[in-house]
Amino acid sequence: MRRLIQSAAAISAAFLALLLFASAVRSGAPARQAPAQAAASVEQTGPGHIQSAPAYSRTRIVTVTVGTTAAPGSPGLNSRWQIDTLDDKFFTGTITLQSDASAITVTLVNGEYSINFAAPPTIWFTNSQGLYYEYSTNQQARRFGNQILISQTYKYFPSLHYVGTVIFTDPYRYVGYSGYAPAEVDTTRLHWDESFTETKFHEFDAAAWLVDPGALRPDLEILDARVMYRRLNHIYVTATIQNAGGITAGAPAFVNLYDRLTDSPPAGPLDLAGGWCTLDPVTRCGISASNRLPTIPPFQTTDYTAEYDLSAINGQHYLYLFVDALGSSSGVGLNYESAEQNNSIRVGSLFYKSFTFLPLVQHK
């Protein structure tokens, strides 16, 4: 990733560049070179520099370039990770990379660093306000069935500005996400730009899924569903779900239960109105273990049971189930299936009437 440090005055910029040069000399920093497979991302502006965002105590910029692999069914795609972190304070710490990380380069703004190349490789740095590092690995873009996962997670206190870009190549294509939603820059790039300004512990968590369209696909289908038991507004729903495809679903499949006041089936995986799933990264569908479908091998079925409280609104309630919720607005969930039209089913309808409980009065 290439960055330009913005400064209020030319003298400050020159002084910062001098500190950066002196730090690299003290640390024995190797010359930085862009990875051969990297394409120009939306925030690349110049080699070896970090762009600050003055409104935030820390700015973190991540670019992941995902390449191809020649071996079908390999553990994952080759990838190149480029990470910038700029802090308004001096900080010291360590960064542990993936066990197979290679071609590691580091640049600091102030401070010193060293690299321990023993597995797993570790970067040690002291008294730095800006840290840039990049490395290659085939473990950060892991394969799950017919799909590839690119996961980004970061926590920091207090305010944080997080910018992320994923660049991928043919034949892979983007199918869906969980956590923070990316902007689709074009057919080969995803982009995040998230800001956290409250004085509390912040977490950026985003998982993007890629798929090889030529690979086998699963086919998740709800065969039947029913309300098994009801007590006032608390219901128990059970369903039989089948994988009619020739491969196990690679991405997690979340089940969304809808409680709607009109008899309207969900239009797709992101039509979450009236359901227990949300797109909020903290409370999204799947945080609860009961929302996630267990792994179903090809041509096998599983029984799924869930509890739910109907909304406290008098009248008729219409219940639906949708398997493989979340994903993309194009009608595909997190899993790229051979059939996407059989993921929803009408469970039934119930009439709800609230009850008023009056206190008991004892006469003497």
**C-alpha–C-alpha distance, residues 117 and 51, integer Å:** 28
pLDDT in the model for residue 46: 33
> Under a CB-based contact definition with an 8 Å cutoff, are residues 90 and 127 in contact?
yes
pLDDT by residue (tens digit) across 275-321?
988 887 767 776 666 688 889 999 999 999 888 888 888 889 999 99
**What pTM was computed for the model?**
0.74
Mean pLDDT of 167-185: 90
Residues contacting residue 291 through CB under 8 Å, at least 6 positions apart: 254, 255, 256, 276, 277, 285, 306
Lowest mean per-residue pLDDT among 51-65, 73-87, 168-182: 51-65
Phi, psi torsion values for 284, nearest 5 degrees: -65, 160
Mean pLDDT taken over the chain: 80
pLDDT band at 360 (very low <50, low <70, confident <90, very high): low
pLDDT band at 202 (very low <50, low <70, confident <90, very high): confident
Please check the confidence at residue 60 and state whether its pLDDT lies above 70.
Answer: yes
> Under a CB-based contact definition with an 8 Å cutoff, are residues 129 and 20 in contact?
no
Residues contacting residue 339 through CB under 8 Å, at least 6 positions apart: 219, 221, 244
pLDDT by residue (tens digit) across 1-21?
333 333 333 333 333 333 333
> Under a CB-based contact definition with an 8 Å cutoff, are residues 298 and 248 in contact?
yes
Judged on CB neighbours under 10 Å (0-12, 13-18, 19+), 341 is: exposed
pLDDT in the model for residue 124: 97
Judged on CB neighbours under 10 Å (0-12, 13-18, 19+), 193 is: middle
In the chain, what are the domains? 10-211 (2.60.40), 220-352 (2.60.40.10)
pLDDT in the model for residue 162: 94
pLDDT in the model for residue 12: 38
Please check the confidence at residue 32 and state whether its pLDDT lies above 70.
Answer: no
> Under a CB-based contact definition with an 8 Å cutoff, are residues 64 and 22 in contact?
no
Lowest mean per-residue pLDDT among 24-33, 120-129, 219-228: 24-33
> Under a CB-based contact definition with an 8 Å cutoff, are residues 249 and 176 in contact?
no
pLDDT in the model for residue 36: 28
More confident residue, 364 or 304: 304
* DSSP code at position 27: H
Compute and round to an integer the Cα radius of gyration of the chain: 25
For residues 191, 75, 205, 259, the Cα torsion angle rounded to the nearest 10 degrees is 100
Phi, psi torsion values for 270, nearest 5 degrees: -100, 5
Half-sphere CA count of 191, side-chain side, radius 13 A: 13
Q: Where are the beta strands (DSSP E) in the chain?
A: 58-66, 79-96, 102-109, 112-116, 122-137, 141-144, 147-156, 160-168, 173-179, 183-186, 189-196, 202-211, 220-231, 234-243, 254-260, 301-309, 315-325, 344-352
pLDDT in the model for residue 93: 94
> Under a CB-based contact definition with an 8 Å cutoff, are residues 122 and 97 in contact?
yes
> Under a CB-based contact definition with an 8 Å cutoff, are residues 61 and 1 in contact?
yes
> Parallel, antiparallel, or unpaired for β 315-325 and 344-352?
antiparallel
Mean pLDDT of 54-63: 85
Sheet of 147-156, strands arranged across: 141-144, 147-156, 202-211, 173-179
- By C-alpha distance, which of 224, 214, 218 is closest to 297? 218
**C-alpha–C-alpha distance, residues 56 and 50, integer Å:** 14
pLDDT in the model for residue 74: 77
pLDDT in the model for residue 318: 94
pLDDT in the model for residue 358: 53
Please check the confidence at residue 186 and state whether its pLDDT lies above 50.
Answer: yes
pLDDT in the model for residue 194: 93
More confident residue, 281 or 238: 238
Please check the confidence at residue 150 and state whether its pLDDT lies above 80.
Answer: yes
| Separation of first and last alpha carbons in the chain | 82
- By C-alpha distance, which of 199, 157, 128, 156 is closest to 62? 156
**C-alpha–C-alpha distance, residues 300 and 294, integer Å:** 12
Mean pLDDT of 205-221: 90
Please check the confidence at residue 171 and state whether its pLDDT lies above 70.
Answer: yes
